[in-house]
Amino acid sequence: MQKVREFHRQSIQDREAFWAREAQRIHWETPFTRVLDYSRPPFARWFVGGRTNLCYNAVDRWLDTQGDQPALIWVSTEVDQEIVYTRADLAREVNAAAATLQELGVVQGDRVLIYLPMIPQAAFFMLACARLGAIHSVVFGGFAAHNLAQRIDDAQPRVIVSTDAGSRGGRPIAYKPLLDQAIEQSSHAPERVVLVNRGLAPMDLTPGRDLEYAPLRARHLDAQVPVVWLESNEPSYILYTSGTTGNPKGVQRDVGGYAVALCASMEYIYGGKPGDVYFSSSDVGWVVGHSYVVYGPLLNGQATVMYEGTPVRPDAAILWRIVETYRVNVLFSAPTAIRVLKKHDPALLSRHDLSSLERIYLAGEPLDELTGQWLSEALGKPVIDNYWQTETGWPILSAQPGIEEVPTRFGSPSFPVYGYDARVVDETTGRDCGPNQKGVVAIEPPLPPGAMSTIWGNDERFVRTYFQSFPGRLCYSTSDWGLVDDDGYWYILGRTDDVINVAGHRLGTREIEESVNTHPAVAESAVVGVADQLKGQEAMAFAVLRNPALLEESGARERLEAEIKRVIEQRNGAVARPARILFVNTLPKTRSGKVLRRAIVALCEGRDPGDLTTIEDPGALDQIRAAL
């Protein structure tokens, strides 16, 4: 691992020379005059004075060499449709979308809110905004009216782009009524709403405000919209992430630093090269969808697969069928999706030709050792865990095969990525922790190119939220626990707010989950801390079995619960033993695969679980209630 470590060392000790070299990956209409301006900590400005454009680098730059090659591959198992857009097709669609926005008065600096499912128009309008210098804010499709209204009020978009409906599991999900309610609730109404009519649900148009996209597109299909060249540090987009106050935080990203960081990551982290096919199964409403469905692959001259559907429809081999059909080189998914596949017939894993597939990357939540090992052995492919956040925009920790092939360890996202001066910090002293000492994963500023530049409209909140966690030290806190072993491999131990206090003992729910999941009968689990009058909190575990029929045997429920508790005691000590281990068929999750632990805690404590607009299967909460 000498090359990876030396590469990382260069990126930290000689930042400006390192990133000046990497910046040559993209087109600069005007060269930058300064690599880094860090005169106002913790705010970092990269490639100062340089003018560039994300859309130009993702689309126009590749037209001469890849005009007739696939650029965007759309697969929908929801509406049984597949479309391959060449780079020239993509340019045509993006120009049509940009001309549409221009007609509606959108200019540089205006915000455009995009409230769409995983359909090609989401990418077209994102890139169209980038072309015009407008700031897009993609809101996860299906968010409730209240959540959408919050984002409308914060971003104050001039135009909103939406649709009649999305689809999940073959069931239409109407978007337009939610959008209408959100606009009614918000204090900032957009001037115009552009609607992609998919014919999935009835849609009433508001006169004077709402326009269907089809006739606008037809009118502008041959448009050639000039690129607006932006100074590197101008904002490119706002992406909202949840805040502890209930008010979402608008993560603001720049233009030049983001383009450089993503382009470099496609080679160094994901091993990609122009002409490859990259498939991320994420949603454009999340950061992975921004960075690795839309921008990253296209910036690096790669084709990208955009998928509307679930990992199990029409069957649990759909991901592998897409890999085979489109000769995918890299698949990027979430650990939850793979844990779902573990519950299905293993023969589905060998149904399709996966010879094109070089590696599988998993992120979005910690990848447990058993799931990573199961997938790697089943497919005979490297499985790479990578750790990052909405705020960073690209991985903080990962193997980096484009620099050097280094053995990975299941359960570990490997090493700090170049550009990130990552540390494990003691939350009480603010000092760096030693090997095998648990602390908070932190980044010594300045943050590298591509990371958030601030919170939209709130610099003070940016500093307070991310840089004031450690006494006497200005350091970015990820709010995740971690440790580094003697060999330099990093481990993520869960959120700092997922720590429970049982009779004075601080326990990480993530560590208890790892123990539950080692039982051969368990497919996945969730552990939460529930209020207890005597102990302050107690752990409660919910387990999904590989074979639910096991519970039909007399006494099986009690026997399994006792066995799993013994495993936890052996691995974590008696104090970590949950009060109960309850069995359910599924866990309540968001559509991106994150377990809704706060909702589970609320049900355990007899409280209202609150806003559940992002839940994948509302019936999962009924299972929690029934188990309780």
Q: Answer yes or no: are the C-beta atoms of 512 and 572 closer than 8 Å.
A: yes
Euclidean distance between CA atoms 460 and 466, whole angstroms: 10
Q: Which residues of the chain carry a pLDDT beneath 50?
A: 244-245
DSSP string, 225-287: PPP--EETTS--EEEEE--TTSSPEEEEE-SHHHHHHHHHHHHHTT---TT-EEEE---TTSH
The top-level CATH class assigned to 503-627 is alpha beta
Give the closest residue to 217 by CA, choosing from 348, 285, 124, 292: 124
Q: Which residues contact 552 (CB under 8 A, 6 or more apart)?
A: none
What is the DSSP pairing of strand 499-502 with strand 505-508? antiparallel
Q: ∠ CA 172-94-198 to the nearest 5 degrees?
A: 20
Contact (CB, 8 A) for 51 and 31: no
For domain 2-309+386-480, give the fold.
Answer: Rossmann fold (3.40.50)
Residue 245 confidence (pLDDT)? 47
Residue range 540-570, pLDDT digits in tens: 999 999 999 999 889 999 999 999 999 988 8
Give me 215's structure tokens: 């006739």
pLDDT reported for residue 497: 67
Q: Which residues contact 608 (CB under 8 A, 6 or more apart)?
A: 602
The reported pLDDT for the residue numbered 596 is 87
If one counts every other C-beta atom within 10 angstroms of the C-beta of residue 614, the result is 18
CA distance 337 to 371: 10
SS3 421: coil
Instruction: State how far the Cα of 471 lies from the Cα of 264, in Å rounded to an integer.
Output: 34
Q: What is the pLDDT of residues 354-372, one digit of tens each?
A: 999 999 999 987 788 888 9
CA–CA separation, 343 and 549 (whole Å): 12
Domain boundaries, the chain: 2-309+386-480, 503-627
DSSP state of 38: E
pLDDT at 599: 87
pLDDT for the residue 502: 75
Identify the pLDDT of residue 504: 58
How far does the chain reach from its first CA to its final CA, in angstroms?
49
Say whether 503-627 and 2-309+386-480 share the same fold.
Answer: no
pLDDT number for residue 505 = 63
Output the 3-class SS for 566-609.
HHHHHHHCHHHCCCEEEEECCCCEECCCCECHHHHHHHHCCCCC
> How many H helices and E strands in the chain?
20, 32
Q: How many CB atoms lie within 10 A of CB 479?
A: 17
In SS3 terms, 326-383 reads as HCCCEEEECHHHHHHHCCCCHHHHHCCCCCCCCEEEECCCCCCHHHHHHHHHHHCCCE
